Amino acid sequence: MISIPDAESGYVYLVGAGPGNPALLTLRAAHLLKTADVILPDDLVSDEVLNLASPTADIIPVGKRCGQPRITQAGIHQLMLEHSKADRSVIRLKSGDPLIFGRAAEEIGFLREYSIPFEIVPGITTAFAVAANLRTPLTDRSRASKLILATAHHAAGKVSLTPNWSGAFPDEATLVIYMPGRNFETLAQDLISSGIAPETPCTAVSRASTPSEHVHITTLDRLSSTDVGPSPVILLIGPPVSQSAY
């Protein structure tokens, strides 16, 4: 039996909720959920994970979509400050891993600025969960020695990858794209212009780990918006992706 400390008063925990299945949470994350006073979940966190929270916990959704009035990042910071200063234990709960495309840099900066004690608890990022479900490796010693996690969405609102690559795209790499936007044809053309072979295997997974999961297996030059399911979507592009035996 291992002993895991409870959530502490005045602390903020940046916790990864993983892909949705509570069985894929870390033991630390599950225990914090049971013992924290306040939970601030993103909208991609599953109900099954939230059901692990203490019945007395105050769950305040801070997702930025679903037709709700948009909460700002500053608003989320304010909630972390308010509740931690009131001596509550606070979980900032993010889908996947909290350090991957989750605005953790801003939240860590804020917590440091206000001297709020915090801990970061990793989670299984979407790329890893999707690859496992597809039974496809992300690296391969003979064909893919690099793994690149990228996003097509930037703070400035740009949705194009091209300006981010200086020079040609690296050889023998698997590329995973989070938040790819909806213009898959343009994205694919940008990547082909950056040097990725048009026939490179590409898999788009929509709503992974949910009952409406949709998997589209294709090649980069055939990637088309009409075949990709609804958001959220993640793209896996690279030689090992062809091994998918989904």
Ligand X SMILES: C[S@@+](CC[C@H](N)C(=O)[O-])C[C@H]1O[C@@H](n2cnc3c(N)ncnc32)[C@H](O)[C@@H]1O
**Which residues are within 8 A (CB) of 222 and not within 5 positions of it... i.e. 6 or more apart?**
202
What type of residue is 43?
A: D
Q: State the catalytic residues.
A: 42, 64, 179
Of all residues in the chain, what percent are helix, strand and coil, respectively (each to 5)? 30, 20, 50
Residue 137 interacts with ligand X (CB under 6 A): yes or no: no
Residue 11 interacts with ligand X (CB under 6 A): yes or no: no
* Choice from 102, 137, 201, 240 touching ligand X (CB under 6 A): 102
* Choice from 90, 94, 174, 188 touching ligand X (CB under 6 A): 94
Nearer residue to ligand X within complex by CB, 179 or 197: 179
Where are the extended beta strands (E) located within 8-100?
Answer: 12-16, 38-41, 58-59, 90-94
* Choice from 36, 38, 39, 101 touching ligand X (CB under 6 A): 101
Residue 207 interacts with ligand X (CB under 6 A): yes or no: yes
Residue 32 interacts with ligand X (CB under 6 A): yes or no: no
Number of residues near ligand X (by CB under 6 A) = 20
**Which residues are within 8 A (CB) of 186 and not within 5 positions of it... i.e. 6 or more apart?**
160
Residue 96 interacts with ligand X (CB under 6 A): yes or no: yes
Query: Shortest Cβ contact with ligand X: which residue?
Result: 96
Residue 203 interacts with ligand X (CB under 6 A): yes or no: no
Candidate ranges 30-38, 71-79, 165-173, 230-238; the one touching ligand X (CB under 6 A) = 230-238
CB 25 within 8 A of CB 18: yes
Residue 107 interacts with ligand X (CB under 6 A): yes or no: no
* Choice from 179, 192, 197, 217 touching ligand X (CB under 6 A): 179
Helix or strand run (H / E) with residue 177: strand 173-178
CB 29 within 8 A of CB 121: yes
Residue 97 interacts with ligand X (CB under 6 A): yes or no: yes
Separation CA 207–CA 230 (nearest Å): 7
Helix or strand run (H / E) with residue 85: helix 73-85
Q: Which residues make up the interface to ligand X (CB under 6 A)?
A: 19, 44, 94-97, 100-102, 125-126, 178-179, 205, 207-209, 232-234
